[in-house]
Chains A and B, each alone.
Chain A
């Protein structure tokens, strides 16, 4: 049968594979053809794996033997900062251009067990630092909805791969919105689960108190399917949690209650059409029987500032390991110390250097209390605000990003305007709470309708409510 990639979901593909309507080899070939057609424009993939069809063949065997699962033979894309043993993992950086992963990340091990097909590794902002994939050392990823515009970031390649019908699902990482914001800009679904829900063993460290591996897919159901496979405790990531780490709670009698921090949504930095789509989404929920009420999050406006202190501080130590000695790029100087200086200057891009230095500054003696300590105290205050709000509501809704995809180069020279892209998403990383972005409408720019996302945040450990409410919204 003809494979309709534009309307395919994991569940549908699984049924077809099981019934024998098509094989995983045929499905994988269909994706490879599509990638071949579009990737030179979009640049979602940095590398397409030559053995994809071999993986599909193995999956077909598994399906034939009756041992197939929901994900067996399903083609997916993996962000370039997640390790797959034996394959290059570069974090879109020159410093790791020829680095081969020496082991599998836990999420990869779990996906391999299901027999998925890895199509390739996807483009990103270097070391996941950025909101547009313009910081990649290997060129920008373009938005499949408008090639003049960015796909978002840092997981721009993973979002664009799914949006251009170049994979059924993908994995990214989300430290301040790096999966939800590109999902919003590309019109797909992205989930940042509770801190500790998904093992990060084998994901390159970027701000360990904020960072999570996160799935992207076209539907909430597909995201949930992938989440259920990759989540769970892992001895190799000591912050992973179990199902009973957090108590279960529900305020709404019939349906979850949705809270909206209106006071945070009145700024003029928010695109008009985006707000319109957001307000229409709230009305839609009300018409479906949900109670939507206003809430206050008194310290939320400080979240992005906290993020831009805590994140670079952690990065400055995360990236100390790149020294040109153990792996990766090596540039020769006159002695060992000069080797470090030259290797790191040549291997790291501008944004990475900026954040390492900024992190070193906020941690340095004399500034530590004023910046890092203060930021951590305010981080606690913000978390308390959210916990208090969740005494009266089950979900908190905001737009995912302040606007739709912007033009390539538009924000490249102004770090603050780029950082503001994360204004609504960083709170979930700061508090460790789960949040999902689902497509909720469009914003018209220069004659094109660009996707806009709705972000829902839930209590720690309550992904279930995000899936339930997300599915109802999209009619799944």
Chain B
């Protein structure tokens, strides 16, 4: 039902490396899961898809930075795999040529 050509871009979008063996087993599992959920296509849908669970409503707040204590900042930075001083370090993302 789903082809290798469809699966590969999904892995790319999801930023997950897949081996050929991964792909083969995923294709099989996808067929079984999609075969199951495809039964939904039989439903005579009488409502629109307004997403809502119970009495949940939209809550707004200011998009404002709050002060973080030096201890909190240190605690957060300590979890980063690579850091330089008070920064999280990543590889260079702009190539020179």
Binding site for B on A (CB under 8 A): 99-100, 102-103, 194-196, 209-210, 238-239, 241, 245-246, 299, 302, 305-306, 308-309, 316, 323-330, 335-337, 339-342, 344-345, 348, 353-354, 356-358, 360-361, 364, 370-378, 380-381, 384, 414-416, 419, 431-433, 460
Give CA–CA (A357, B15) in the complex, Å. Answer: 10
A/B interface sample: 17 pairs, CB < 8 A: A245-B55, A246-B55, A299-B43, A302-B43, A308-B33, A327-B80, A337-B15, A353-B26, A354-B29, A361-B30, A375-B49, A380-B52, A381-B47, A384-B47, A432-B53, A433-B54, A460-B54
Q: Tell me if B66 is interfacial: C-beta within 8 Å of chain A.
A: no
- The prevalent SS among residues of A at the interface is helix
Identify which of A238, A326, A357 contacts B16 (C-beta below 8 A): A357
User: Assuming A102-B72, A375-B49, A416-B32, what are 9 further A-B pairs, CB within 8 angstroms?
Assistant: A239-B59, A246-B55, A326-B88, A327-B79, A327-B80, A335-B93, A354-B26, A364-B10, A372-B49
6 A-B pairs with least C-beta separation: A330-B81, A432-B54, A238-B59, A327-B79, A376-B49, A345-B17
In the complex, how many angstroms separate the beta carbon of A421 from the nearest chain B beta carbon? 14
B-side residues, CB < 8 A to A, are 2, 6-7, 10-11, 13-18, 22, 26, 29-30, 32-33, 36-37, 39-41, 43, 45-56, 59, 61, 72, 75-76, 78-82, 88, 90-93
* Cross-chain pair count, CB within 8 angstroms: 158
Q: Does A336 contact B91, Cβ atoms closer than 8 Å? A: yes
Residue of A whose beta carbon sits closest to that of B19: A345
Residues of A close to B6: CB separation below 8 A: 361
Contact partners of A306 in chain B: CB under 8 A: 40
Given the interface pairs A341-B16, A416-B36, the reply to whether A335 lies near B91 with Cβ below 8 Å is yes
Chain B binding site: helix, strand, loop or mixed by DSSP?
Answer: loop
Shortest CB distance B2–A (Å): 7
With known contacts A326-B88, A344-B15, A380–B26 Cβ distance under 8 A: no
B43 engages A341 (CB within 8 Å)? no
Q: Which of B13, B76, B78, B88 contacts A325 (CB 8 A)?
A: B88
Q: Is the CB of B37 within 8 A of A373?
A: no
From A100, A308, A345, contact of B36 by CB (8 A): A308
Which residues from chain A contact B43 at a C-beta distance below 8 Å? 299, 302, 374, 378, 381
